[in-house]
Structure 1
C-alpha cells in the first residue's frame, strides 16, 4: 500500500508519509487475529463491567463517582460498545476510530480501556509526531473529563494527573514496540540487501571467470588450430612426400585436433551451463615458464625456426606471472606462424625478483602475403594487452626496423 492509501490519511497532512513500521496488510495474519480478538473481548468486557457498576448504586464505582443519570449511563454504554466493536477494524479505520474515541474521552467512563488501546495502536502504526499530537489531544480531553465527571475523594489535578499518566505510559509502551518492529524491518532489509549483493557478486565472479575462460580458449585454440592448418597445408601441397613425413604430419594433425576438441569441450561446457562451486572438478594445471621449451618445439615442428632464451629461474617466478608470460609467448609464436611462416623467431625471457619479468618475441616482417593466410579474429594482441594490464604489467607491439617486435613487462615481487 502506498502513502496515499486511506489508512495513511491521518489527523493532518504530515501524517501522510509512508510508515515502514506499520503498513496495514490486506489480510490478517494469525497473530493479528489473536491480538484483535483479545483487544475486542477485553474492551467489551470492560465496557459491560463499568456499565453494570454504574447501574448498581451499592457498587464501589457508583460510590466513588457518585450517582450517574440513567440517560448518561445509557449513552456511555452504547457509545463505548460501538468503540469497542470498532477495535476489530482498528488497523483499517484507525483515523475514524481515533477521532471517535477522542470525543468519548471527554465524558465516557466505559470507553477508558478502548481509548488506551487506540493510543497504543496509534503509537505502533504511526510516526512519533502523530502520536505526540494525538496523546496531547487525549490529555486535553482528560482535562475536560475531570471537570465533567469528578472522582470522589480526589482533587481535580490529582484525577487529571492519573489519567494523563496512564495515557503517556500507553504511548511510551507503543513507542518501544514500534522501535523494535522498525529495528527488525531494518535488519531484514539489510539481510535481504546483503543476500542480493552476494548473489550479484557471485554472478559477476561467474561472468569474469567465463570471460577468462574465453580468453584461454582463444589462446589455446589459436595455437592448436594454427598447427593443424600448417600441417594440413603441407599434406595438401606435398602429396608426393615420403610416407614417413606424411605419417608424421598426420600424427601431428590428429594429436592437435584431439587436444583442441578436448579444450573446446571443457570451455563450451563451462560457458553453457557453469558448475556449482561444490561440484567443480579441480582445474587442470596451467602452463608456466617451464613449459616454454615444449611450446618452442611445437612451433619448430610447424616449420618456424625458434630460438628460445630464458634468463630466469622458471621455478621462482610467481605462478600468475608465469602463466601470463606463457600466454604472451604462445600468442607471439602463433602470430609468427600466421604472418611469417618459416621465418626465424627469437624469444627472450629475462628478469629477476624485484625488477620484473621482461619478454620479447621478434620475427622478420613478411615479405609476401601467403596465398592462403590462416584466418584469425584480430583480437589476440588486444587480449594479451588486457591480460598484461590485469597482471599489473604492460605490453607493446609494433615494427622496429624490419622486424615485428612484441614486448611485455610483468611484475615479479622480490
Structure 2
C-alpha cells in the first residue's frame, strides 16, 4: 500500500479490534515496562540514600538552580558546612512519597492489561497518577501508544491537552515539580515554556508512532478477518453443496422408492394374488428399481465436471415441465389417481424454473402417494410471464395410519427450491384437504 494511503489511514478510526499479541510480544513489552519501573524506583531510592549518608540537603541551604535534574550540586550554608544535593527534584520530594510512588507504579503495571478495553480512561488515570509517581512513566507511554493505535484523533488531542494542563498545575503547586521547571529559568526568558513545549513535541511524536502502529494492526487484523471469512465461506459452500446433493437425492429417489415400497407391501400382505398379478407387481418393482438407478446416475453426473454418467455414457438431461405429463401418466399407470389442470404452455417456462417446479410437483405426488395412497390428487398450474407461476397440489386427508411414515424432508426441499427461485410455499390442512400452495417468479419475455 502506498505511503499516501498509509498517511490517510493514520487519521481514520480503527475498523477492526487489534489482533491479540503472541507470547513473545507480550513478554518483551512487560519486561521493558518492568525494567523502567525498577530502574527508576531504584535510582530514586539510591539518590535518597546517598543524600542521607552525607548529611542530607536542606531546602533552605541556598543551593543554586540547576539546568539538569540529574546534576550534583555542592552548596555552602552560612556556617560554612558543605551540603550535597544530588538531585534538586528529589531533594524536595518527601521520602515517604517514594513508597507511594512505588505502589502506584506496581498498580500501573497490573492495570496496563486493560489498555485495549479502556484505552482513553486508563491513560487519563495513569497521567493523573504521574503527578505523584515517576516510576510509571514507561507504562504511561505504553498506554498512550495503545490509545493512539485506535486513531481517535479527538481523544488523542484531549489526552495531550490534559497532560500539558496537569504539568502546569503540578509545577505551580508541588514543590518537587516546581524545582524541575525552575531549573530551566537560566536558559532565557522562554525557559519556563521549554518543558511544556518539549512534552508536547514528544507526545506528538509518540502519537504519530502509535497511529502508524495502529494502521499496521488494522491491516494485520484485516488479513486475519479475511482469512476467517474465507474459511467460513468455504464451510458454508460445502454445507450448501451437501444440502443440494441431499435434496436432489431425496427428490429423485423418494418418488421411485415410494412406488417400490407400496407394491412390495402389496406382495407382502396379499397372499391371494394369482401368479400373473404377482409377476406384474414384481415387474413394476423391477422397473422402478432400474429407473431409480438411472435417475441416480443422472443426479451424480451433475456433481461431476464432465457430462458423462457413472457408466461413461452421455448424461441424461434434467427433467423439465414438458416431462410433467409423462410423470403423471406414470403415476396413473401405477394406480395413483391424479388430475392435472395446466392452463399454461409448459414449454415456455424458463429451463431453471421448469426443472425446479417439476421436482416440486414430483415431491408432492410422492407425499400424496405415501400419506394418502388411495385419494385423488389434484395438480393445478397457472400463471403467465411477468406475473409468476402458481402451483397447487392437494389431496384429501387419509385415515390415521393409512400411509407410509415420513420425515418431513420433502416439504423442506419444496420450500428450499421455491426460495432459490425467489418464491414461496405454504403447506397445511384446509377444509379437510392437505394443500401445498406455491408461487415462483416467471420473468416476462424480452426481445
Please say whether Structure 1 and Structure 2 have the same fold, judged by a TM-score greater than 0.5. yes
How far apart in 2 are the matches of 1:381 and 1:149?
86
Provide closer, same or farther for how the CA distance between residues 124 and 396 of structure 1 changes in structure 2, counting only shifts above 3 A. closer
1:11-410 map, 5 Å: 68-69=73-74, 72=84, 74-75=86-87, 92=109, 123-124=144-145, 128=156, 132-138=161-167, 141=171, 144-145=179-180, 147-148=182-183, 150-151=185-186, 154-155=187-188, 157-189=189-221, 192-193=224-225, 196=228, 199-200=231-232, 203=235, 207=239, 210-211=242-243, 213-233=245-265, 235-236=267-268, 237=270, 238=273, 240-241=275-276, 245=280, 248-256=283-291, 258=293, 281-282=304-305, 286-304=318-336, 306=338, 308=340, 310-338=342-370, 341=373, 347-361=379-393, 365=396, 373-377=403-407, 380-381=410-411, 384=414, 387-388=417-418, 391-395=422-426, 407-410=437-440
How far apart in 1 are the matches of 2:73 and 2:431?
113
Provide closer, same or farther for how the CA distance between residues 310 and 146 of structure 1 changes in structure 2, counting only shifts above 3 A. closer
How far apart in 2 are the matches of 1:346 and 1:247?
28
- TM-score under structure 1 normalisation? 0.57
How far apart in 1 are the matches of 2:231 and 2:374?
51
How far apart in 2 are the matches of 1:260 and 1:32?
65
Matched residue SS, 1:69 = strand
How far apart in 1 are the matches of 2:368 and 2:90?
100
How far apart in 2 are the matches of 1:147 and 1:339?
98
How far apart in 1 are the matches of 2:206 and 2:200?
10
Matched residue SS, 2:363 = helix
Whether 1:413 aligns to 2:418 is: no
Question: 5+ unaligned residues in a row in structure 2: which ranges?
Answer: 1-16, 41-65, 76-82, 92-101, 113-125, 148-154, 172-176, 307-314
Residue deviations 1:123-178, cap 9 Å, x none? 43568566544444545547634535753xx43x3222333322221121112222
Displacement of 1:28 after TM fit? Answer: 5.2
RMSD between aligned residues: 5.7
How far apart in 2 are the matches of 1:397 and 1:26?
59
Matched residue SS, 1:321 = helix
Displacement of 1:405 after TM fit? Answer: 6.3
State whether residues 259 and 285 of structure 2, in contact with CA within 8 Å, keep that contact through their aligned partners in structure 1.
Answer: no
State whether residues 225 and 260 of structure 1, in contact with CA within 8 Å, keep that contact through their aligned partners in structure 2.
Answer: no
How far apart in 2 are the matches of 1:405 and 1:68?
102
Q: How many residues align?
A: 339
Displacement of 1:204 after TM fit? Answer: 5.1
Match of residue 3 from structure 1: none
How far apart in 2 are the matches of 1:404 and 1:146?
91
Displacement of 1:312 after TM fit? Answer: 3.4
Provide closer, same or farther for how the CA distance between residues 331 and 253 of structure 1 changes in structure 2, counting only shifts above 3 A. closer
Matched residue SS, 1:374 = coil
How far apart in 1 are the matches of 2:23 and 2:131?
23
Match of residue 112 from structure 1: none
Displacement of 1:184 after TM fit? Answer: 3.9
How far apart in 2 are the matches of 1:406 and 1:130?
66
Displacement of 1:240 after TM fit? Answer: 0.8
Residue deviations 1:295-331, cap 9 Å, x none? 2243134223556565434443234432342133213
Residue deviations 1:198-241, cap 9 Å, x none? 65555556555555555544433331221112332454543511
How far apart in 2 are the matches of 1:190 and 1:246?
65
How far apart in 1 are the matches of 2:434 and 2:237?
36
Displacement of 1:292 after TM fit? Answer: 1.8
How far apart in 2 are the matches of 1:410 and 1:293?
20
How far apart in 1 are the matches of 2:67 and 2:437?
103
How far apart in 2 are the matches of 1:406 and 1:149?
90
Provide closer, same or farther for how the CA distance between residues 136 and 121 of structure 1 changes in structure 2, counting only shifts above 3 A. farther
How far apart in 2 are the matches of 1:392 and 1:297?
27
Provide closer, same or farther for how the CA distance between residues 148 and 353 of structure 1 changes in structure 2, counting only shifts above 3 A. closer
Question: 5+ unaligned residues in a row in structure 1: which ranges?
Answer: 1-19, 44-62, 80-85, 104-114, 267-279
